[in-house]
Amino acid sequence: MLTLVAFIIALGVLIAVHEYGHYRVAVACGIKVLKFSIGFGKPIYTWRLKGKPTEFSIGMLPLGGYVKMLDEREGPVDAAERHLAFNTQPLKSRAAVVAAGPAANLLLAIMLYSLVNWSGLQEPKAILASPVAGSIAERVGLQGRELVLQAAFDDETFEGVRSFEDLRWRLTQGALNGRDVRLSVTTDFVSSDPPARDVVLKLANLKASDADVQLFRKIGIFSPWTQPVLGEVVAGGAGAKAGLRAGDVVQRVGAMPVVDGQQLREIIRSSTVQTGAQTWQLLRGGQMMDILVTADVLQEGKKSIGRIGAYVGSPPEMVTVRYGALGGLWQGAVRTWEVSALTLKMMGKMVIGQASLKNLSGPLTIADYAGKSASLGWSAYLLFLALISVSLGVLNLLPLPVLDGGHLMYYLWEAVTGRSVSQAWMEGLQRGGVAVLLCMMSVALFNDVTRIFG
């Protein structure tokens, strides 16, 4: 139920803001707006504002919306109202009305990011877990439990790293933009001016075909450091059968020292039938003890995955990330710009085959993340709304004839040539745009189904 409610609210807010952008600028340009609708299909509620010609409505299908303006191309217009029709407006006014929808979504994203920046957000501290074996992080000498103080692209000036999410964002930018990332790290958590060393993560030649967890596994940094402690132990699981208990702190598995929860999870996952029983050295109630543990081996697709039936790893150390009034607004604008640029770059990579089409997400994935973010609190939900709002704004600016960007493309042609696009060309481009959009939606929906149910 939470997922459904969070999804409907997200769609309603994003669609309403987008259409309100069109509506507000149309009214400001002196255009008569006949109808403002959130959703399609039969209206479930309609109203009018006193003295206004616009009918406002909420449709049964909340999967879009529209603003219907007076337009000679859609029906007869009284001569006395011809100056109020959309098609009679100067080019700059028509372009402004069309661009206002995506612009409203981008402005909404700035405000949502700013709200979170002002209120503060609890995020994991930028303490690194043990790196994945053979990864870029391991090759540069990172071992785990290093605190990242600063980061920079290539030879740029270092900037402070506020949290692990801040670090992940910089790594994402580096991988997708083909830029190395320098980190200033320390293992001294006490000193106010800890000694630090610099490492360079060579991301410039990394093939970022999938901007997901696999990308971060290649880099070797995809989770913050956690203590290798056991949480809830499921009755009947391999851990319970071996005698493991919640609160046990694992020191070694066989001859391998355990640095953190991430490493312990990897050791468990890599267990096979051939691995058999392993001696776990652990700390329980201040005393060291050895326990023989045999992991259950399960099939997940084509892979064999080890399981012990216990929560592994303590909650990460958290830090509050908060900005002042101007700083929060500036960071909101910067994050909106960065997300927009990376979204366009990822779309471009998908078009030329450098990034997988698996990165396209549809309504099922959006609904899933809406519910998950809402369950984490209002700050996480606002960040989710901001991300989707940026995506909606950028998507609508693409030069596809059925989108706002397609209409702006027509107006660019009109500005350059002095004449509008012919009706025949417009109809042909419209059909092509619909075909491309349907293909994108089909791929996104297929990805949703395989991601959630596969």
CA 416 to each of CA 171, 407, 410, 413: distance values in angstroms, whole numbers, following the listed order: 41, 14, 10, 5
Which are the contacts of 198, defined by CB distance < 8 A and separation ≥ 6? 182, 183, 184, 185
Q: Under a CB-based contact definition with an 8 Å cutoff, are residues 298 and 307 in contact?
A: yes
Which are the contacts of 353, defined by CB distance < 8 A and separation ≥ 6? none
CA angle 240, 298, 311 (to 5 degrees): 40
CA angle 84, 88, 93 (to 5 degrees): 85
Which residue in 19, 138, 159, 300 is the catalytic one?
19
d(CA 86, CA 77): 11
Q: Under a CB-based contact definition with an 8 Å cutoff, are residues 22 and 67 in contact?
A: yes
d(CA 377, CA 402): 36
Half-sphere exposure of 397 (CA within 13 A, CB side): 20
d(CA 134, CA 245): 32
Tell me, yes or no, if 19 is annotated catalytic.
yes
d(CA 337, CA 343): 10
Q: Under a CB-based contact definition with an 8 Å cutoff, are residues 289 and 234 in contact?
A: no
Determine the residue type at 387. L
Residue corresponding to tokens 């958590």: 189
Other beta carbons within 10 Å of 299: 8
Alpha helices by DSSP H, 307-422:
325-351, 363-376, 378-396, 404-417
CA 14 to each of CA 10, 255, 313, 408, 441: distance values in angstroms, whole numbers, following the listed order: 6, 54, 37, 21, 18
CA angle 189, 192, 197 (to 5 degrees): 65
d(CA 146, CA 326): 32
CA angle 387, 10, 368 (to 5 degrees): 75
Q: Is residue 19 classed as helix, strand or coil in its secondary structure? A: helix
d(CA 436, CA 405): 14
Determine the residue type at 340. S
Q: Record the tokens describing residue 438, joined without a space.
A: 């349907």
Give the active site residues: 19
